[in-house]
Amino acid sequence: MNKNLPKNNKSVTFYVLQLPIILLFLLMMAVTGYFTVDSSAKLASPTTLSSVLGDDDEEDDNSGESEDDDEDDEEDDNSGDDNDSDDDEDEDRDEENEENDDSDSDDNDIEDEDEDEFENELEDESDDDDEDELESELEDEDEREFETKQVIQNADGTRTEITRKVKGNEIKIEVITYGIFGNKIKEEKFEQDEDGQQEAKVKIYTLNGEQASELKLKTEDGKLELKVKEGSPEFSKIEYDPNDEKLLISTEGQDGESDFAGKLSIKASGNTFRITRSGIGVESLFPMTVDPDTGQIFVNTPAGDVELKAMPDTVVEKAQLSSVDTVNLEDVDGEVKYVLSGERSERLFGVFKMQIPMELTFDPSTGELLDTTQSIFIKVLDIFSF
């Protein structure tokens, strides 16, 4: 134990004496280093400082620029991508637009076709409507029905009432004449059915109001008279036209049936009766009688009644005259005859054309040529004419 004591004393002395010196030295070194650093910092040029700082800044800037470049590149890439995407989108849009345009055009074509079809349908419907309207109008015309009445005060004091009824093609006309005392003196009826068939009926009444069966026409001088023979009260073969004051008589056609289309008219003309059929008329100087049941016409002569079977147009046709001046029913040697005067066209010696006057006589019952009257000179010329 005693041998080791001196060694411990040296260690304590060292720590006690030398340790503070070492610490002081270190402190001084530290202070000296501080001032050295501070002075060197102060002596450093701004350029160096700026360069030092600038490098950092440049690094920062470069880093910033690089970051910006990276960002720009990214943006460019993004923009490129965006542009590519935009282009793709534009192309897609264009394709869609084209498809839409095509579809629109197709739709428009379809719509146009539909519109055309619709217009055609409307036109067809309008045409159908027009046809229906026209048919309805025609039906309305066919089904039209109205009635009119007219009252005429005659100069002789009598009164005539005319009633017209129309229903489609059916026509009914009734003419009633009243005397000065209000009594019915004549009744006339005209009827036409829907097929166009006509029928006329005449009723005559006496002053006492009794129905008579006679119908009379008189000339102005009262010398000649046409009357209807007694027969059925309603006349079917004759009709009386009160407007023209003439009697219309139906004549028989080729089938033996009465034909009012070829009817014969008899009218008082001055002091004679004029008988006309098919535009050809003859003057009668005799009183006449008409059978209402058969439509026969009789010429009353002193020798008796002569039936007028040959009609004026038939006689004129048989005469073969180029021109007809007169056609009369006259008394020839106590008998009634058709007397025609006119001209016939012939050629003298077969070369020279000339008109030869002549007078022809025909039988009113048979229509046969009875006589030809010419002057002697005309007869000589007629011999050499053909």
Asked whether the whole model's pTM tops 0.85, one would answer: no
Domain boundaries defined on the chain: 124-212, 229-308, 309-386
Rounded Cα distance between 374 and 342, Å, is: 11
- HSE, side-chain direction, 13 A CA sphere, residue 52: 6
Tens-level pLDDT at each residue, the chain (386 residues): 444 444 444 555 555 566 778 778 788 887 776 656 555 544 444 444 444 344 444 444 444 444 444 444 444 444 444 444 555 555 656 666 555 555 555 555 555 566 666 666 666 666 666 666 766 665 665 556 889 999 999 988 889 999 999 888 888 999 998 888 787 878 888 777 777 666 666 776 655 566 655 555 666 665 555 666 555 444 456 776 766 777 777 765 444 444 445 678 888 877 788 888 888 888 888 888 887 777 788 888 888 888 888 888 889 999 888 888 999 998 888 889 999 999 887 766 666 677 778 899 999 989 999 988 866 655 555 555 55
271 vs 220, 268, 285, 325, CA distance in Å? 6, 7, 8, 19
Q: Evaluate whether 376 touches 358 at the Cβ level (below 8 Å).
A: no
135 vs 63, 141, 168, 273, CA distance in Å? 99, 10, 14, 49
For 181-250, where are the alpha helices, taking DSSP H only?
Answer: none
The confidence score (pLDDT) of residue 17 equals: 65
The confidence score (pLDDT) of residue 370 equals: 92
